[in-house]
């Protein structure tokens, strides 16, 4: 072979297999939810798609009730009920399926995928989402557990404090609802400080060897939330975003605030413009920080060559964010951490 031909061959192979692809596939998810990472990885290894990986990974957390913040029996709302939010996004086609305020169905990420694959819609909510799920073959069951009953009864005993109401009448420190709006009694009832254990959504990004990218989330939301409250997790661009031509991201934390900034969308757009994943994550956090310096939150980012990063906002009690990564550089899921700023 002449040297000229060899040169051409080298160019072709570098174009098909850029150096950065060597560590693919990649699974990355928020928090130390290792079994979720492993479930997603196994799905890819057994020939599943990136959507299968995200569904299996988030689904694992729903079954294991990761930190009590994902799946059934966690985060009872003001009426004691656990409701679920989830989303899945196909980064090749930009299709999304999501459910919010889902009742009585355990597998929220599965229902989200059914919304994507069996309707032209993006987001179904509440009772109607549950009816849809039942029609699609998902089993309706009570999501209440002894644990959620305990959390709820303790809260009732404590006069329904803390809660997420503000500017309401009568004096909410002495009674539970129903609440009425008050113009004169300016009572800020916001729960004192977002504690990490009431916000631990799983958010996941999966990228395979051929550059297919998917992202998803699953959560039971916020403990003592006002019924009907939907956080960032099932909102496209807020809880997660995936575009196989740019990257993927998933966020976790104080969803009520974070969803106002579409941090996952922002991070993906920054990576599209060439930003390093860690830098993209940091900018997405900074944007929120500018308005809510005390918000609790973190984000994970991965670009199309499988490079990844994470960032979090430093607040009292939260100076380091842990997340999981599995790529071809290791034979087990690896726990990673990033210092908040």
Ligand X SMILES: *[C@@H]1O[C@H](CO)[C@@H](O)[C@H](O)[C@H]1NC(C)=O
Which chain residues interact with ligand X by CB under 6 A? 20, 35, 64, 146, 276-277, 303-305, 307
Query: How far from the centroid of its chain's Cα atoms is residue 141's Cα?
Result: 24
DSSP classification of residue 308: E
Q: Is residue 49 exposed (0-12), middle (13-18) or buried (19+ Cβ within 10 Å)? A: middle
CB closer to ligand X, 34 vs 260 = 34
Query: How far from the centroid of its chain's Cα atoms is residue 102's Cα?
Result: 16
Query: How far from the centroid of its chain's Cα atoms is residue 248's Cα?
Result: 12
Could you tell me if 256 and 231 are in contact, meaning their C-beta atoms sit under 8 angstroms apart?
Answer: yes
Rounded to 5°, the CA angle 211-233-107 comes to 85
Q: Within 10 Å of residue 144's Cβ, how many Cβ atoms?
A: 16
Could you tell me if 193 and 290 are in contact, meaning their C-beta atoms sit under 8 angstroms apart?
Answer: no
CB closer to ligand X, 130 vs 303 = 303
Q: How far is the CB of 268 from ligand X (least distance, A)?
A: 12
Q: How far is the CB of 312 from ligand X (least distance, A)?
A: 19
CB closer to ligand X, 21 vs 287 = 21
Three-state secondary structure readout of 86-100: EEEEECCCCCEEEEE
Q: Within 10 Å of residue 295's Cβ, how many Cβ atoms?
A: 18
Q: How far is the CB of 20 from ligand X (least distance, A)?
A: 6
Q: How far is the CB of 125 from ligand X (least distance, A)?
A: 29
Query: Is 208 assigned a ligand-binding role in the annotation?
Result: no
Is the omega angle on the peptide bond into residue 245 within 30 degrees of 0, that is, cis?
Answer: no
Query: Is 42 assigned a ligand-binding role in the annotation?
Result: no
- Please provide residue 185's backbone torsions phi and psi, each rounded to the nearest 5 degrees: -90, 90
CB closer to ligand X, 39 vs 86 = 39
**Numbers of helices and strands, H then E, in the chain:** 9, 14
Query: Is 229 assigned a ligand-binding role in the annotation?
Result: yes
Start-to-end Cα distance in the chain: 55
Q: How far is the CB of 214 from ligand X (least distance, A)?
A: 17
Query: Is 190 assigned a ligand-binding role in the annotation?
Result: no
**Helix axes of 108-118 and 50-64: crossing angle, nearest 10 degrees:** 150
CB closer to ligand X, 20 vs 228 = 20
DSSP classification of residue 211: -
Which residues are the active-site residues? 201
Nearest to 117, CA basis, from 103, 136, 130, 101: 136
Q: How far is the CB of 59 from ligand X (least distance, A)?
A: 13
Could you tell me if 309 and 278 are in contact, meaning their C-beta atoms sit under 8 angstroms apart?
Answer: yes
Query: Is 252 assigned a ligand-binding role in the annotation?
Result: yes
Query: Is 232 assigned a ligand-binding role in the annotation?
Result: yes
CB closer to ligand X, 307 vs 336 = 307
Binding site membership for substrate: which residues? Answer: 229-232, 252-255
Binding site membership: which residues? Answer: 229-232, 252-255
């Amino acid at each position: 072979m002449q040297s000229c031909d060899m040169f051409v061959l080298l160019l072709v192979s570098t174009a098909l297999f850029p150096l950065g692809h060597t560590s693919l596939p990649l699974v990355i998810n928020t928090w130390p939810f290792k079994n979720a990472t492993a479930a997603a990885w196994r799905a890819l290894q057994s020939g599943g798609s990136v959507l299968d990986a995200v569904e299996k990974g988030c689904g694992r957390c729903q079954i294991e009730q990761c930190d009590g913040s994902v799946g059934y029996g966690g985060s009872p709302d003001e009426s004691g009920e656990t409701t679920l939010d989830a989303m899945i996004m196909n980064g090749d086609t930009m299709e999304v399926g999501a459910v919010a305020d889902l009742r009585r169905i355990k597998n929220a990420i599965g229902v989200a995928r059914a919304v994507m694959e069996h309707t032209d819609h993006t987001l179904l909510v509440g009772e109607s989402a549950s009816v849809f799920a039942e029609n699609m073959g998902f089993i309706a069951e009570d999501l209440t557990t002894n644990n959620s009953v305990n959390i709820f009864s303790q809260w009732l005993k404590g006069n329904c404090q803390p809660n997420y109401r503000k500017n309401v009448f009568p004096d909410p420190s002495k009674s539970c609802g129903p609440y009425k709006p008050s113009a004169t009694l300016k009572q800020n009832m916001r729960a004192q400080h977002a504690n990490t254990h009431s916000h631990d959504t799983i958010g996941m990004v999966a990228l395979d060897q051929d550059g297919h990218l998917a992202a998803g989330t699953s959560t039971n939301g916020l403990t003592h939330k006002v019924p009907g409250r939907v956080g960032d997790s099932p909102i496209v661009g807020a809880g997660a975003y995936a575009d196989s031509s740019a990257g993927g991201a998933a966020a976790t934390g104080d969803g009520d605030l974070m969803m106002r900034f579409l941090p996952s969308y922002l991070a993906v757009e920054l990576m599209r413009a060439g930003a390093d994943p860690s830098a993209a994550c940091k900018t997405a956090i900074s944007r929120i920080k500018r308005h809510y310096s005390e918000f609790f939150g973190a984000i994970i980012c991965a670009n199309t060559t499988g490079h990844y990063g994470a960032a979090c906002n430093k607040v009292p009690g939260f100076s380091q964010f842990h997340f999981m990564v599995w790529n071809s550089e290791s034979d087990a899921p690896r726990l990673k951490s990033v210092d908040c700023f």
